[in-house]
Structure 1
Amino acid sequence: MKQSSSIGYLTIIIFSLILSCIEKDRTIQNTTITVNWDNFITTQNLNSIVLQNITDSMFIPTQIHISKNLLFVSEKSSDAILHILNIATGQYLGIHGTRGAGPGEVLNAWKLFSPDEETIGVFDPELGKAIVYDIDTLLNENKYSKEYLQSGMINSNGVSIVDENIYFLSNMNMPESRILYYAKTTQGLNLEKKGQLPTLDKKYPNFQAEEERSVVSHAKLINNDKIFVVSYYNIPMMTIYDIKSAKEISIVGPDKFPEPELFGNIRYYYSSYISKKYIYLLYIENKKEFDYTSSTILVFDHNGEPVKKLLLDTEIFQLAVYNDSTIYGLVDGTETSDFEVVKFQIE
């Protein structure tokens, strides 16, 4: 963070608390940064274009992701699970993958992720498994490459695989950790931990500790290589974990925490995406109860510094970003279609 921007720009509170990692002789420095709307100095208005060829092929899309210059949309209502679009040509490449409970199959393609630039991963929380496809093999032979089956992943909202380590979110019953991972060792896979579930400093005294943890624990996990982001649905907060340097930065804002009567009933950060440079967060400004669509995207760098605010002409519920130049989004319910895939060009 630049020193000149620390006064009147961001309020930085550095806690003296040092959180211990499972890794020996290493610690995570926990830094909390409070942001407000004035910190987003640049605002851009973006117009949508409907991608009709993939829209016409969808039934009930759930997630959207980009890997190897291809756009992937997971499908809930079909024997196959992944719609694929060539970003460069705009050609729809069909729907691939297999739905089921057998090897290489998923019942619920809940989250998509990229172990590397040549693969696409699908996480199924119902089966507690992650399937990884080599993209060329998926397109040519409709076959999977690897399967990771771990019962501990069942409650996670997102999975990442880096260097064969399987990262996922802990649940409300493990407040002493936030990210869990099965680390590959010569003896197999060992369960290790990083971070901790946020505590709210008695903001909600009428809630029992278990009730508070239940509300706070709803979050999404994403990563780009060794930079991980956990964004929270029910509180205005996200945390950046740099696994390589063992640094942890929590961002609070830009809105205040909800009043007690609304705690757990309104949303903040719903969808998220991370590129090699920036973090993109779909932020719910309209605080209707249980609203999950938005036309506001907040952009941060990997150090948690606000970069800009993007205002879309169409509300979306999921996003993916291509080369920091184009945003792809899923739209729920329009006059012409139940769901649409749209894109926005960033100036």
Structure 2
Amino acid sequence: MIRNKLTLLVGFFALGFACSPASEENEIEEIVVFDEKDLPDPIALVGKKYNFPNITNPRNILCLGDYLVVSERSNGDLLHILDIQSEKYIRSTGKNGLGPGEATLVWKLEPAFEKESFWCYDLEQTFFSKYSVNEGTSKLAESQLRLEEIFHYVADLTWASDTSLLVTMVDGNDKYFEVSLQGDTLAAYGTWDSMIDRKDVPYNVISSIHQGRLKASPDKRKFIAAGSRRDFIDVLDKASGKILSIRGPVDEVPEFDVDYSRGYPMAAMNMKTLTVKYLDSFAGKERIYGLHLGKSFRNISDPDELNRIFVFDYQGKIVHQYSLDYPLTGFTVDEDNSIIYGLTVDEEPNVVAFALPESSLLTE
């Protein structure tokens, strides 16, 4: 179903209630539920922590062959380029600012279609900046892609092809859209009102409860969204339009009220009891990886029950459960070399590597 920009904008601002039945074409969804007893025995991973200089408050990590890219939350240089094979810090790049070639807030790192190049998405200015891992003297982006105004209403996004993005919006009942770089809708997938039984909840409230950052498989055929407030991973097969929703290990909607105190509906949640579910995820060639916390973020470094990584196939079957000896806020996977790289959250945050044991690779 093709929709133009005007139709989408009307949908964004119409904070309607989830009371209309979903169309058949968007109700192609399968649910797989698991709990703790369904998890395989944990495989303990022992991390090798690096001491790369200049990393102070990392947000994202991306693997590009022999290189790692790490983005910063701080106000200095935005990016670090690491040669992971030689274990050397190559350089910092990404000038912080509002001028040409500059950026302010690196929300996401995504591989570019050119080898050893990558995109950074600036959430504040809604544009992509492209950089290369190769040596260079300038810290400015090689190129920048400014998106249409419609992208100010996007909650999250990832590349779906070299000319389109898969996005979630701040409002509306449709879950996922494929959108051209000019803001035209190419397709819509799934509905938010399928996620809860209550029929009196505005769509934007449902979507906010199910926040999850979008990730794309290397071939851009599969897309995942792992919930940070609810235990679920959505798996979209773009070719068929079908969504597989993996629920667990605790399949329940967190308690919430609808708050209108700001003049529009918002999800009011009990922050004292709310736990963080998936902190990050990775869509691999044949496997899905989810970094699961399952407790309050303030207790993330508690040595008891550090966060775990669940591994699923694309049919929703859980394949592995990895236990970690470092608390992580984000991670990436080098599937060619069977290594998980994470960002630690401790007194001296840095990169940590977990080599996957051969015993866990045999079933893959």
Partners of 2:64 and 2:247 in 1: CA distance:
30
Whether contact under 8 Å (1:115, 1:162) holds in the other structure is no
Q: AA paired with 1:195?
A: Y
Partners of 1:161 and 1:69 in 2: CA distance:
24
1:201 and 1:295, CA in 2 relative to 1: closer, same or farther beyond 3 A?
Answer: closer
Q: AA paired with 1:61?
A: P
The aligned residue for residue 344 of structure 1 is: 354
Structure 2 SS opposite 1:179: strand
1:20 aligns with 2:29: no
Give the alignment partner of residue 328 of structure 2, picking from 303, 316, 334.
Answer: 316
Structure 1 SS opposite 2:327: strand
Give the alignment partner of residue 243 of structure 2, picking from 237, 240, 248.
Answer: 248
RMSD: 2.8
Q: AA paired with 1:166?
A: L
1:109 and 1:259, CA in 2 relative to 1: closer, same or farther beyond 3 A?
Answer: closer
Whether contact under 8 Å (1:128, 1:152) holds in the other structure is no
The TM-score with structure 1 as length reference comes to 0.79
Structure 1 SS opposite 2:68: strand
Whether contact under 8 Å (1:181, 1:193) holds in the other structure is yes
**Deviation of the 1:221 alpha carbon:** 0.6
1:180 and 1:139, CA in 2 relative to 1: closer, same or farther beyond 3 A?
Answer: farther
Whether contact under 8 Å (1:42, 1:307) holds in the other structure is no
Unaligned runs of at least 5 residues, structure 1: 1-16, 22-27
Q: Which consecutive aligned stretches of 4+ in structure 1 deviate over 6 angstroms post-superposition?
A: 261-264
The aligned residue for residue 24 of structure 1 is: none
**Deviation of the 1:70 alpha carbon:** 0.9
Map 1:67-146 → 2, pairs under 5 A? 67-116=64-113, 117-136=115-134, 139=136, 142-146=139-143
The aligned residue for residue 313 of structure 2 is: 301
Considering Cα pairs closer than 8 Å and 6+ residues apart, tell me whether 1 or 2 has the greater RCO.
2
Partners of 2:24 and 2:78 in 1: CA distance:
40
Structure 2 SS opposite 1:215: helix
The aligned residue for residue 222 of structure 1 is: 215
Whether contact under 8 Å (1:153, 1:169) holds in the other structure is no
1:267 aligns with 2:276: yes
Whether contact under 8 Å (2:70, 2:80) holds in the other structure is yes
Unaligned runs of at least 5 residues, structure 2: 1-21, 257-268, 358-364
Give the alignment partner of residue 190 of structure 1, picking from 181, 184, 188.
Answer: 184
Partners of 1:200 and 1:290 in 2: CA distance:
31
Partners of 1:292 and 1:157 in 2: CA distance:
24
Q: AA paired with 1:125?
A: L
Whether contact under 8 Å (2:28, 2:190) holds in the other structure is no
Partners of 2:321 and 2:130 in 1: CA distance:
33
1:135 and 1:161, CA in 2 relative to 1: closer, same or farther beyond 3 A?
Answer: farther
Q: Which moved more, 1:290-299 or 1:242-251?
A: 290-299
The aligned residue for residue 235 of structure 1 is: 230
Percent identity, aligned pairs only?
21
Q: AA paired with 2:36?
A: W
Number of aligned pairs?
A: 312
The aligned residue for residue 289 of structure 2 is: 280
1:48 and 1:84, CA in 2 relative to 1: closer, same or farther beyond 3 A?
Answer: same
**Deviation of the 1:271 alpha carbon:** 0.8
